[in-house]
Chains A and B, each alone.
Chain A
Amino acid sequence: MSKIYVQNLTKKYGPVTALDNVSLAIDTGEFLVLLGPSGCGKTTLLRCLAGLEVPDEGKIVMGDSIVFSSKENIMVPPGKRNLGMVFQSYALWPHMNVRDNVKFGLEVLKTPKPVAEKRLDEVLNDVGLNHLDQRYPAELSGGQQQRVALARLLATQPPIFLMDEPLSNLDARLRMDMRVELKRFQSAAKATTVYVTHDQTEAMTMSTRVVVMKDGAIQQVSPPDQLYRQPANTFVADFVGMPRINLVELTSEKSQGNIFTNEDIQVDIGWAPDCSNIVIGARPEDILISHDNNLGTQQYEITAVLPNGPEIIVQLNRGRTNLITRVPYNSTFFEGQKVWAHFNKSALNIYSAASRSLIYQDTAKHTAAL
């Protein structure tokens, strides 16, 4: 119904490449999150989809119609793309009250008045603003303004929602509530949604798939759990996850294919990748520590213990190598203690030190070697 295809999209601002040959297919009803550090091109991509930015090259298809094509010289203006957008600043019209703000879109579509009024009441009721409909945006709190922006998007029932960091101006608590609501409205409307954010929690909790971008190029497109468990390269591994993943460069010793070391530590990764220089990616929860050596193979010194609600973040050190682990809140570890650490083999991700990208384990070869 409203699938979106992006093909080889490129956009340059002078010498800066904001989008570098980006291709993407978005399914109907999907909640796709564009995630990346600032300046990675995620907002540019969204604005290209909206039609507010004209790409230099490529093609965008929405539903059955081509809305942009550099080859065929097609550029459908934003208003004709049948989509709704929530801006980071909300972009509410300050001279119109809440009702007029929401009504504008319906007026443009020349919706008959009784139908429009009915729809207005419905939408304002949905977002819980019917008692404030005569207020001006300046007289509303941030959360209420956010709801007006949402109501304005919902009023015309577009099949595609675009959202540009809509929650970044709200305080942490409100942001959590709005995440739930946004998700509820999106699934009720069954709209294909593209959502831009730099907040990984938002990306992980709301999305059906996450697109991680860096320097205008897509790094990985995956469902959130896979993004966390199996980052495609060290950039994604490092960008996703709090506290951050442990990335340690290791090399193999000739005779021992499965054992990789640096000058401080030694890790048995359980299989033998093709290259000898690797980076291991171990999430904090994938390094297990204990006071005795029934699990671990090497001793580390605890350099910091940081309690954080349900968990404690423990920093380990051995020589020049530092690791971060995560243990339950009721564990007893103290700064200065020596503990044994064990890497959970099955959860480790192995990256090539040269290309920084994930080396997939060839399971057939692995079992044969055993």
Chain B
Amino acid sequence: MYLTLFAEPVGPIPALYGTFTLLVLISVVSRLPYSVKTGVTAITQIGQELEEAAELSGASWAMRFRRIIMPLASSGVLSGMMVSFVGVMRELSLIILLITPSTRVLMTVGFGYAEEGLAQLSNALILIVAVLTIIGELILMWIGKGKMARLREKQS
């Protein structure tokens, strides 16, 4: 059903089928809950008093968000984003039906090669995906440690 939903323009929404936008959109939507959850957790874990202290000194909401909340929550928010990136990187089932020749992604190309029996090419692609995923995971671990932990490591 949803395959044909965006095949034609509906009101202000242009026809999305076969565009790269649709792939991005679908990937974002499917991963949104995980990222949001991590982000919200990161923000709510900041002590309420830290924001109140800033509020008392007269800082506007925008300033508090920029100077206090974002710096403290950034590692959590970023890891939420990276979790999604790593997940989307190796996504196949979700987007395989939405792929057109002009909007192929690594996983679908690899799948295509495998179908045609080109095992070597397929494996090479899988390797690239694996490396990219591992890099993503490493970045995730680095962020997850947090700025303060890195600072402490540097000191000792």
Contacts and interface: CB of A to CB of B under 8 A. Distances in A.
Q: Is chain B a partner of chain A in the same complex? A: yes
Interface of A: 50-52, 77-80, 83-85, 87, 89, 91-95, 104-105, 108-109, 136, 138-139, 152, 156
A187 B72 CA distance: 36
B49 A89 contact: yes
Contact of A79 (B56, B151, B152): B56
B55 interface: yes
Given A91-B49, A91-B50, A104-B67, A79 B55 contact: yes
Contacts of A91: 47, 49-50, 52-53
B93 interface: no
A138 B57 contact: no
Contact of B57 (A87, A92, A94, A105): A105
Contacts of B49: 87, 89, 91
Contacts of A80: 58
> 8 smallest A-B Cβ distances: which pairs?
A79-B58, A91-B49, A105-B57, A91-B53, A95-B71, A108-B58, A78-B56, A87-B49
Interface in B10-58: 47, 49-50, 52-58
Contacts, number: 65
Interface of B: 47, 49-50, 52-60, 63, 67-68, 71-72, 147-148, 151-152, 155
Given A94-B148, A104-B67, A136-B148, A109 B52 contact: no
B52 A87 contact: yes
Nearest to A94: B148
Contacts of B56: 50-52, 78-79, 83-85
Contacts of B155: 139
A94 B72 CA distance: 8
Nearest to B49: A91
Contact of B47 (A50, A77, A89): A89
Given A91-B47, A95-B72, A52 B52 contact: yes
30 contacts: A50-B56, A51-B56, A52-B52, A77-B55, A78-B52, A79-B56, A79-B57, A79-B60, A80-B58, A83-B56, A87-B49, A87-B52, A87-B53, A91-B49, A91-B50, A93-B53, A94-B50, A95-B71, A95-B72, A95-B147, A95-B148, A104-B59, A104-B67, A105-B57, A108-B57, A108-B63, A109-B58, A138-B148, A152-B57, A156-B57
Contacts of A105: 57-58
A105 B56 CA distance: 9
A108 B59 contact: yes
With most chain A CB atoms within 10 A of its CB, the pick from B52, B55, B58, B72 is B58
A109 B56 CA distance: 12
With most chain A CB atoms within 10 A of its CB, the pick from B52, B57, B68, B72 is B57
B67 to A, nearest CB: 7
B153 to A, nearest CB: 12
B63 A93 contact: no
A89 B47 CA distance: 10
Nearest to A138: B148
Nearest to B50: A91
A22 B137 CA distance: 56
Contact of A138 (B68, B72, B152): B152
A109 B67 CA distance: 15
A311 to B, nearest CB: 40
A50 B59 CA distance: 14
